């Protein structure tokens, strides 16, 4: 079973360029999330969506945008990348806002 699929798995990006990280789930979960994980820090929530058609800002939303056109897809866009956005990005989903999270394999982004 696929669960959550993220793409790309790794990317090097020049500062100022835009980038979309893709996330697709096949579990029909209502809630989806984007986190970034940096060394020495806990997972930090960027944006979330409790159901298709709605999105919300997390702890560190600046410089990122999301959309949730349908249940399965939750892309994360960096409009103009900066070096501080170098991180590992995890997409996650849950069947409810209070349920356990299922994570994708992560996308490692380096901004130079």
Q: Site map for other proteins, 54-83, x if CB under 8 A?
A: ------------------------------
- To other proteins, the closest distance from the beta carbon of 83 in angstroms equals 22
- To other proteins, the closest distance from the beta carbon of 18 in angstroms equals 25
Contacts of other proteins in 9-48 (CB under 8 A): 40-45
Give, in order, the Cα–Cα distances in Å from 76 to each of 4, 40, 98.
Answer: 14, 23, 22
Look-up: residue for tokens 């944006």? 47
Residue 2 binds to other proteins (criterion: CB under 8 A):
no
Residue 87 binds to other proteins (criterion: CB under 8 A):
no
- To other proteins, the closest distance from the beta carbon of 32 in angstroms equals 13
Q: Which CB atom, from 59 or from 79, has the smaller least distance to other proteins?
A: 59
- For residues 96 and 31, give the distance between their C-alpha atoms in angstroms, rounded to a whole number: 6
Tell me how crowded residue 84 is: count the other CB atoms within 10 A of its CB: 10
- For residues 44 and 97, give the distance between their C-alpha atoms in angstroms, rounded to a whole number: 16
- Beta 87-94 vs 31-37: how paired, if at all? antiparallel
- For residues 72 and 30, give the distance between their C-alpha atoms in angstroms, rounded to a whole number: 9
Name the one range near other proteins by CB under 8 A: 22-30, 61-69, 78-86, 101-109: 101-109
């Amino acid at each position: 079973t696929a669960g959550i699929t993220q793409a790309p798995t790794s990317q090097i990006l020049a500062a100022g360029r835009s980038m979309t990280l893709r996330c697709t789930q096949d579990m029909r979960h209502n809630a989806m999330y984007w986190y970034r994980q940096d060394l020495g820090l806990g997972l930090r929530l960027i944006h979330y969506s409790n159901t298709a058609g709605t999105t919300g800002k997390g702890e560190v939303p600046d410089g990122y945008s999301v959309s949730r056109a349908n249940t399965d897809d939750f892309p994360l866009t960096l409009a103009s990348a900066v070096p501080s956005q170098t991180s590992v990005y995890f997409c996650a989903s849950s069947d409810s806002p209070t349920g356990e999270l299922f994570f994708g394999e992560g996308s490692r982004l380096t901004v130079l």
